[in-house]
Amino acid sequence: MNAPLSLLKMRFLMGLQYRAAAAAGILTQLFFGLILIMIYVAFYTHNGEAQPMMLKEVVAYVWLQQMFFALIVLWQFDGELFGLITGGNIAYELCRPWRLYPIWYAKLLAARLASASLRCVPVALVVFILPEPYRMPLPASPAASLLFILTLLSGLLLVAAISMLVYISVFWTMSPVGSVLMIAVAGEFFAGMIVPVPLMPDWMQTFAGLLPFRWTVDFPFRVYTGHIGVQEALAGIGIQMIWLAALAAAGQWLMGRALKRVVVQGG
Amino acid sequence: MRLYFKYMSILFKSQMQYRTSFLLLCAGQFFVPFAVFAGMYFLFERFGGLTGWTFHEAALCFGVIQMAFSLAECFARGFDAFSNLIVRGNFDRLLVRPRGTVIQVLGSSFEFTRFGRMLQSAVVLGIAVNGLSIAWTPAKIITLLLMIIGGVVVFSGIYILAATFCFWTVQGLEVANIFTDGGREMAQYPLDIYAKWVTRFFTFIIPFGAVSYLPLLYILGRADGPDLLCMAMPLASLLFLAPCLAVWRIGVRHYRSTGS
């Protein structure tokens, strides 16, 4: 288990090198957050009665999304891994004395953790002191904040497992663009990145509930605001674990099959 | 102009060499804004409307801005990807040719996969126009076209400005995304729902308001001012473009090559 750990550390340090990019990212995130909140404020002033979410909960949802953007967004893919597969350098990876799935998984986790840890704290510093109605509310209760951290982290494990499946699909398609775009668009939508899941129409919420995506974004964010209670949150962690086990098992199996038939050309 | 179309046809042919990849990217470009549009629709459905705006009116706003953005991304891509030219020292090659720099940079790259996004914006525009009962006069149709063209000019101006900074910073500036992607996200909704400082900034500094919100009021028949003034509003985008081009000139003069 040592190799994945040290890889994690390496990737983490590498991510920390790109500080200017992170600064630009922070500004962009703040701006997007403000714009989104203004849109929701306009909707809520028009008709804020009896909505499934209070404005304050939506504000928290928006800011959490901006703070942990790098952690949970499906869009972020590592060009290096794609290059390994399509370029044939996968041969080197296969020579190394470790199993590929855990190593790549660790790489993905590390890249996400590194860029998120750079962005999350500065954004948090700003959003907690913004004037109302833009201010980020505090977590609903100490229990909620603890559960939030737990659910966010298991959500992160889940996102990495989903994106592993995308990488593995490249073994078959050889061109990352198509599969990546489709999964990213659908996944982000059903995760609640565009509209919070409780604000979707009922039939769509049911559909989103059947997919793994909402457990990565929507679920931890609503645990934070107390929109999902403690009891339900504990049950939800169980569901996250089931999805994680299923997706990781599927990924391992598919990767095994892909590696059996991989042919590297050239010398 | 002849040169520009020549550049365009060459790059189109080269992109068509990878047909599957091209089509897949087009499809992707179709679905990305489609998801955002679906989100807008669901919000309108959930909240029953937005103060002073119906869904189709907002959709018109959305369609115009998305169309302008996709056109700008397709045709002004050379400026968007300008840091590549600088980093590799390829800008030197443009300087020794006996043609203007602006047209050569414009011609250096086209993103034809944005056709997908254009198609999507056209669909949204269709939905909006279908759902609104507007008496379309020639003047209103011209205004709509002017809005789209003005939007393209504003987005291109931002690209040019961001590209100009590359002369000093070499690397591309990610902050410019606030004004391109952020401006797009913001101008999708009618501008008056935002806080005052946002509205003012995006009307008087970067004139998104002038190309979308104010003429939109005229099309919907709600404008206060004289018609001709509202129709001519998108021309304000030219006032924005002029200083951008001037700064570009200064930048070109300051250019020091990175190549060897």
pLDDT at residue B258 in the model: 65
B260 part of a folded domain: no
> Is a pLDDT exceeding 90 seen at residue A208?
no
B228 part of a folded domain: yes
pLDDT at residue A178 in the model: 66
Give A246's pLDDT tier (boundaries 50, 70, 90): very high
> Is a pLDDT exceeding 80 seen at residue A215?
yes
pLDDT at residue A96 in the model: 74
Q: Which residue of A has its CA nearest to B18?
A: A175
pLDDT at residue A101 in the model: 85
Predicted ipTM? 0.84
State whether A28 and B21 contact (CB < 8 Å): no
Range of the domain at B15: 2-254
State whether A194 and B39 contact (CB < 8 Å): yes
pLDDT at residue A245 in the model: 92
B219 part of a folded domain: yes
* Residue A195, token pair as written in the block: 């509209």
B193 part of a folded domain: yes
Chain B residues within an 8 Å CB radius of A200: 42, 46
Instruction: Report the number of distinct structural domains present in chain B.
Output: 1
State whether A189 and B173 contact (CB < 8 Å): no
Across A60-81, average pLDDT: 79
Chain B residues within an 8 Å CB radius of A21: 174
Q: What is the mean pLDDT of each run of 10 residues along chain B (260 residues)?
A: 81 78 79 87 86 86 91 84 77 81 81 84 90 83 89 90 80 74 86 86 85 85 76 85 90 74
**DSSP 3-state assignment of B53?**
strand
Q: Which residue of A has its CA nearest to B37?
A: A194
State whether A175 and B185 contact (CB < 8 Å): no
Which member of A25, A32, A199 has the closest CB to residue B43? Answer: A199
Check: CB of residue A136 under 8 Å from CB of residue A38.
no
pLDDT at residue A179 in the model: 65
Check: CB of residue A215 under 8 Å from CB of residue A129.
no
State whether B24 and A32 contact (CB < 8 Å): no
- What is the dihedral sign for C-alpha A255, A260, A261, A263? positive
Greatest alpha-carbon pair distance for chain B in Å reads 62
B89 part of a folded domain: yes
A1-5, A42-46, B163-167 — which one is most confidently predicted on average? Answer: A42-46
- What is the overall mean pLDDT for chain A? 82
B259 part of a folded domain: no
pLDDT at residue A244 in the model: 92
Check: CB of residue B125 under 8 Å from CB of residue B63.
yes
Specify the higher pLDDT residue, B237 or A183.
B237
Across A248-259, average pLDDT: 88
Distance (Å) from the C-alpha of residue B213 to the closest C-alpha of chain A?
A: 15
> Is a pLDDT exceeding 90 seen at residue A6?
no
Specify the higher pLDDT residue, B28 or A264.
B28
> Which of B182, B185, B38, B47 lies closest to A192, judged by CA?
B38
State whether B42 and A181 contact (CB < 8 Å): no
B175 part of a folded domain: yes
Kindly report the number of other CB atoms within 10 A of residue A260's CB atom.
Answer: 7
B206 part of a folded domain: yes
The secondary structure of residue B257, as a DSSP letter, is: -
